[in-house]
Structure 1
Amino acid sequence: MTRSIRPDAVLVQAVIAGALSFAHLHDLAQAAGQTGWKAWAYPISVDLLMVAAWRRLRAQRSRLAWCWFLVALVASLGANVTTAGFLDLDHPPALLRLGVAGWPALAFLGGTLLAHAPNAPAPEPVPESAPVVDHPEPPAPAPEITEPEPAPALPAATVPSVPPALIDHARKVATDHRTRTGTEIDTATLRTRLGVPEDLAGAIAAQLA
């Protein structure tokens, strides 16, 4: 089963831009006096330094990686601008020759620093805290129920003493009342008939019962 190959516009654009930048770096190195294989090694060195700095940036956002990425970017961009007719490549200036001649040492320094730069320490794992066990608080002690103190006993009512003569009279009154009404005399009637206080009438009625 064959798969149809669909060219990616971004990939094609990257290949074209890389090829042009590579050619400009080669032409600049050749104009500065680097001939043969040395002229082809310059663009490879610039692109490799840029890739190494970019990979370091993806792993760790450090000033060192940013510095060397900008150095490689300036070298590549400078070659593209220089070969666009701003300089006479048949008679390059001494400063351009100096920059091209010193590039290998600069690129070697940058690649070495990027390769041996310490990585950022991995964050230490946060120790998991022991689960907090909610210990239920002991229930509050129930309030002690104090039994109410018994009310002081009331002093016993003193039974008034009834004279025997009054008892005899009261008995006659009760007999008369029974004869006329056919019922026993009550305390209120006895009190009225005798004309005595209520407590004394009660005491007499108790003795008549």
Structure 2
Amino acid sequence: MARTLRLDPVLIQAVIAGALSFAHLHDLAAAAGQDGWKAWAYPVSVDLLLVAAWRRMRTDAENRDAWLWFAIALTASLGANVATAGLLDLQDVPAWLRILVAGWPALAFLGGTLLAHTPASPPTPAPDLEPEFTDQPHIEPAVDVTVERAPQSVPESAPELPPAEPAPEDAPPQPAPAPVAVPVPPALLDHARKIADAHHAQTGAPIDAATLRGRLGVPSALAESIAGQLA
């Protein structure tokens, strides 16, 4: 069965645009001092970098490096087309353009290496919405059974409680125990009397047991016994 040959207008347009861009790049490289086979290698280098960046963009649309190198190669191709359209004197190419043309091979090699060796990001797996069927037996859910207890019977008559004891404030006050007399040495008693007289002369009041204890440095029981004898 014979196949009919169909000409795609888009493909024809791409071939024409590629041929013109190829020729413009060759003419610009030759005008910048790259003669012979070197002038033909420049358009090949630009087109290869453009294709490599485009292929990486199709497989990894979020790759910013691919977009960058695609823009660089496209700028080089468009720049050559504009420069050879009569806006630039190809007989007197400026120095900055010669520098760009001379440095293009290293730049193209760097871009091609990065595009070839940069790993592509793995695609995000789509969530599986289909239910999974297994051979495990169906298990019925457990039934929560609540058992209510019968209320306990309350005895009719509550046991009698013992009478409450009287509060401490209701109890009669107990007499305070009489202080135990502590023997006082005569010398200590004479010394205490001098201190008591001096205190009475200064304050006009008799000395108490707490002040006497602080002056003599004796226990509280001994100080109370001395105060009792001095009263």
Q: Provide TM-score, normalisation by structure 2.
A: 0.56
Match of 2:143 in 1: 138
The amino acid across from 1:92 in the alignment is V
CA distance in structure 1 between the aligned counterparts of 2:67 and 2:14, rounded to whole angstroms: 21
The one-character-per-residue Cα deviations of 1:75-106 (angstroms, maximum 9, x if unpaired) are 00000000000000011111111110000000
State the Cα distance separating 1:123 from its structure 2 match: 3.8
Match of 1:30 in 2: 30
The amino acid across from 1:103 in the alignment is W
The amino acid across from 1:55 in the alignment is R
Cα distance 1:72–1:127, how it changes in 2: closer, same or farther (>3 A)?
Answer: same
State the Cα distance separating 1:137 from its structure 2 match: 3.6
Higher mean C-alpha deviation, range 69-78 or range 134-143:
134-143
Residue pairs, 1:1-209, within 5 angstroms = 1-60=1-60, 61-123=62-124, 135-138=140-143, 140=145
The amino acid across from 1:100 in the alignment is V
The amino acid across from 1:64 in the alignment is D
CA distance in structure 2 between the aligned counterparts of 1:127 and 1:13, rounded to whole angstroms: 44
CA distance in structure 1 between the aligned counterparts of 2:22 and 2:139, rounded to whole angstroms: 69
The amino acid across from 2:58 in the alignment is R
Match of 1:157 in 2: none
Higher mean C-alpha deviation, range 125-134 or range 15-24:
125-134
Match of 2:229 in 1: none
State the Cα distance separating 1:121 from its structure 2 match: 3.1
Cα distance 1:2–1:79, how it changes in 2: closer, same or farther (>3 A)?
Answer: same
Q: Cα RMSD between the aligned structures? A: 2.9
State the Cα distance separating 1:118 from its structure 2 match: 1.7
The amino acid across from 1:87 in the alignment is L
CA distance in structure 2 between the aligned counterparts of 1:3 and 1:96, rounded to whole angstroms: 50
State the Cα distance separating 1:4 from its structure 2 match: 2.1
Which structure is higher in RCO with an 8 Å CA cutoff and minimum separation 6? 1
The amino acid across from 1:23 in the alignment is A
State the Cα distance separating 1:131 from its structure 2 match: 7.4
State the Cα distance separating 1:3 from its structure 2 match: 1.9
Larger Cα-atom Rg: 1
State the Cα distance separating 1:5 from its structure 2 match: 1.2
State the Cα distance separating 1:138 from its structure 2 match: 1.6
Q: Provide TM-score, normalisation by structure 1.
A: 0.62
Q: Which has the higher helix share?
A: 1
Match of 1:193 in 2: none
The amino acid across from 1:42 in the alignment is Y
CA distance in structure 2 between the aligned counterparts of 1:31 and 1:141, rounded to whole angstroms: 97
The amino acid across from 2:14 in the alignment is A
CA distance in structure 1 between the aligned counterparts of 2:29 and 2:146, rounded to whole angstroms: 95
The one-character-per-residue Cα deviations of 1:122-163 (angstroms, maximum 9, x if unpaired) are 44687999879774242646999xxxxxxxxxxxxxxxxxxx
How many residues are treated as equivalent by the alignment? Answer: 144
User: Percent same amino acid among aligned pairs?
Assistant: 63
